[in-house]
Amino acid sequence: MTNSNGTSDGHLRWGILGTGFIAGLQVPDLQENGFTVQAVGSRTEESSKAFADGHGISTAHGSYEDLVADPDVDVVYVATPHPFHHANALMALNAGKHVLVEKAFTINAREAQEIVDLAAAKGLVVLEAMWTRFLPHMARIREIIGQGTIGEVRKVLASHNQDLPKDPAHRLNDPALGGGALLDLGIYPISFAFDILGAPQRILASASKTVTGVDRQTSAIFEYAGGAQAIVDCELDAASANRALVIGTEGWIDIESTWYNPVPFTVFDAAGNMVERFEQPVNGRGMQYQAAELERLAGAGATAGSLLPPTETVSIMAAMDEIRRQIGLEYDADTRP
């Protein structure tokens, strides 16, 4: 059904739940790589039709409920803001659809576990849309580490700093909408640390807040058995080069700006000599690879793969819960039963 090039045979039909910025990035990558985008749903008929017209999608639904009930939709891509992922994903799963859920997957680990449990009970695929995890350069990085080229991994360094809207009413700054740097930006370096080193044994976190009370910038140290560390940071009101490093006892991997995109990287030995330069252009932005993974799992009758199993998504959310506990950032969803 799919292959390592991130293409599809078009057998599964996709429904797009939400018509915001991220949906506008995902849909062209699907369409240009053979995926069938069947329908879109929004909270209003107007926004749904405008999105459908702009992207050449045949069916526009004026509600999320109508989208997930559409018998011509097999997979739902949840592209709403993360406070709504929990309800939207449960609705799609209860309608019998496989689900690709944007990151951050949910507000907290409890919500994530409920989604994962329902998908397992129904035998459906639920996959976190951490698109970076499935890109070719990340696949090659895992191979290099696995081959022992840089020795024992001792440290991962990754940043995600952006200069984003400072309006207090913007969703990024609104605690009622899960605002703050951590869930929107920090998810990238945190997921990368999990990819390379797994779940940490201990987390040490620090943050500064905005006037609205969400985290403006957050840094964390992940500690692992054997002494390895991941140092991750994010910020929403100051941009940086956003590079990443994987440092081992026999060398290091330098991933260029912006590291979570399909960019080149260079491998060096411990003396600083270049060992390998990797550069593989991809079609579009590269968001088709995560969709290809979902279709591969569905075609194989599997509900979890090795690259980003649902259990790891829950573990990542739990790590962000712990960071928020340490920095004193609580959302409404944390206190709901």
Q: Which residues are catalytic?
A: 103
Tokens of 279: 């550069």
Contact residues for 193 (Cβ-Cβ < 8 A; gap 6+): 156, 158, 200, 222, 230, 232
Count the Cβ atoms, other than its own, within 10 Å of residue 145: 20
Sheet containing strand 251-255, edge to edge, reads 202-209, 215-223, 229-235, 153-161, 244-248, 251-255, 265-269, 274-278
Q: E-assigned strands of the chain?
A: 13-17, 36-41, 59-61, 75-78, 98-102, 126-129, 153-161, 202-209, 215-223, 229-235, 244-248, 251-255, 265-269, 274-278
DSSP letter (8 states) at residue 261:
S
Q: From CA 54, how far away is CA 73, in angstroms rounded? A: 20
DSSP β-bridge partners for residue 37: 14
3-state secondary structure at position 330: coil
Pair type for strands 229-235 and 244-248: unpaired
Q: Please count the residues of the chain.
A: 337
| Amino acid (1-letter code) at residue 31 | Q
